[in-house]
Amino acid sequence: MRTVPRVACINDLSGFGRCSLTTALPVLSVMGVQACPAPTAVLSMHTGFPQFTFTDLTDGMAAYFASWQDLKFDWIYSGFLGSVDQIELVRDFFRRQKAINPDCRILLDPVMGDDGKRYSTYTEALCNAMRQLVAEADVITPNITEACLLTDTPYRGEALHSAEAVSLAEKLMTLGCRAAVMTGIIQENAIANLTYSGGKAEFSRVHRTECLFSGTGDLFASVLCGALAGGARLDSAVQTAGMFLSEVTQYTLQQNTPAAEGVLFEPLLWKLGGNYHEQIQRK
């Protein structure tokens, strides 16, 4: 492994609202990982705000990836994708990286929606293209809404019994990914994250904060990516990401800030720079 693992972060840059690249870059940096951004779009604010500008960057992406063709990445972490063409460019980038470096791993966060609803920019064509992209991934991190959209399953809320969650994860696996982490399953006063890998399902539960903040999926996937790039096993990386999310959401709830502004991770970011992962694993 490289001294500083290298990750390509394919995601949008939203100027306000704590999500996508503005979350991924600080989290990966503090976790000792070199984060190389490939921006898919620039938004003035994320799409959860009533007004935002959206500049799609698809046109520049082929040249952007071409200039990276001799770089080897340990992981590729992809998030919000804004057009079908973009999804195809990302698929080609995944394939090229795997071809020049079979050890390259792909973390795909299929950012499509939340709370039973698709994001306003997310069309049916994008859903179909995302289903195909999942087949290229080593790990995917959908929330329940996204798991339902990907598998054409009717959405019946975020509260799922363990057996229902496992059967949804099994459906996700039929799309061809190597492992799936289904996030944000409500089970009484806990949030469960389900890791499905190697034919085995494992639940990791943390304290639930009763509020829905924007960008929590991005923060979870970013911490997960940092831990994985640092060499952690998938199940332990899921525990670490879950614990950090639980701490940060509880802190944010106490501060009483608008939910669309996301989780206030800045005051707690330093924890990820120490031996947070080791501490969580020892608990």
Binding site for ligand PXL (CB under 6 A): 12, 14, 19-20, 43, 46-48, 80, 111, 119, 214-215, 217-218
Please state the closest distance from residue 136 (CB atom) to ligand PXL, in A.
20
Please state the closest distance from residue 162 (CB atom) to ligand PXL, in A.
26
3-class state of residue 203 by DSSP: strand
Please state the closest distance from residue 111 (CB atom) to ligand PXL, in A.
5
CB nearer to ligand PXL: pick between 201 and 260: 260
DSSP of 109-178, one letter per residue? ----EETTEE-TT--HHHHHHHHHHHTT-SEE--BHHHHHHHHT-----SB--HHHHHHHHHHHHTTT-S
Q: Which two tokens stand for residue 273?
A: 């720079």
Q: How far is residue 58's CA from residue 56's CA, in Å, rounded to a whole number?
A: 6
- Helix 144-151 to helix 162-173 angle (10° resolution) is 50
CB nearer to ligand PXL: pick between 20 and 197: 20
Please state the closest distance from residue 123 (CB atom) to ligand PXL, in A.
14
Helix (H) or strand (E) holding 264: none
Q: How far is residue 148's CA from residue 145's CA, in Å, rounded to a whole number?
A: 5
Please state the closest distance from residue 275 (CB atom) to ligand PXL, in A.
28
CB nearer to ligand PXL: pick between 10 and 232: 10
CB nearer to ligand PXL: pick between 65 and 80: 80
CB nearer to ligand PXL: pick between 46 and 131: 46
